[in-house]
Amino acid sequence: MHRVLDCIPADVSATQLGVSWNGELPAVLAERLIDAPGHPSSLHLAVIGGSHVVTVDAPSGQFREEISCDAPQAAGACWPLPEDVDEGGYRLLTRTRAFSPDAFETAGDAIAAGGGDWLIATFPGVGRHHLTALKGEFVAGEWRWWTHHLYPGELTIVSTRSTYRP
């Protein structure tokens, strides 16, 4: 699902990203809900201001990950965005890559062509690939999700992979 948004993105620098957990749900610009086959839980993928919030709802409770420029202001947040977090059934891996202009365009084309399993939101701004992309699935009793945050003005892509076992 590809959404073209007509708003000014709030998150415009990869260096300002942080992560927070279990906060309030911010205003959502684009979203997708995925139900777990054979399990009473769901995954809510949401694009916010150029970044993302992912929420798992399960009988054991709710879990929320927010990666954004606002996340560092929350209690218990991590900033800058850590490369690896592994706590209590949750794991976050982050990869930040800087590109040449041509390599950024090539990587951006591949991410933008992500297919129907991806929630892709494109923002107005510098370059054609000012976008956020999210994908999630439920496998072997855990939720897995992947994200890409593209910053054309910095020629940078921040990619994350998270898992959570409800």
The confidence score (pLDDT) of residue 43 equals 98
Q: How far apart are CA 120 and CA 143, in angstroms?
A: 19
The confidence score (pLDDT) of residue 162 equals 98
Q: How far apart are CA 15 and CA 85, in angstroms?
A: 18
Look at the chain and count its residues.
166
* Residue with tokens 């003005």, as numbered in its chain: 153
Element spanning 110, H or E: helix 101-112
* Residue with tokens 């990666």, as numbered in its chain: 67
CA nearest neighbour of 3 among 106, 109, 112, 104: 112
Q: Which residues of the chain have pLDDT under 50?
A: none
Q: In the chain, what percentage of residues exceed pLDDT 70?
A: 99
Total domains in the chain come to 1
CA distances from 74 to 56, 77, 111, 116 (A): 19, 5, 29, 33
Q: How far apart are CA 3 and CA 48, in angstroms?
A: 13
| Rounded-to-5 percentages of helix, strand, coil across the chain | 10, 50, 40
Read off the tokens for 147.
Answer: 């994200």
The confidence score (pLDDT) of residue 41 equals 97
Prediction pTM value: 0.95
Domain range for residue 101?
A: 2-164
The confidence score (pLDDT) of residue 8 equals 72
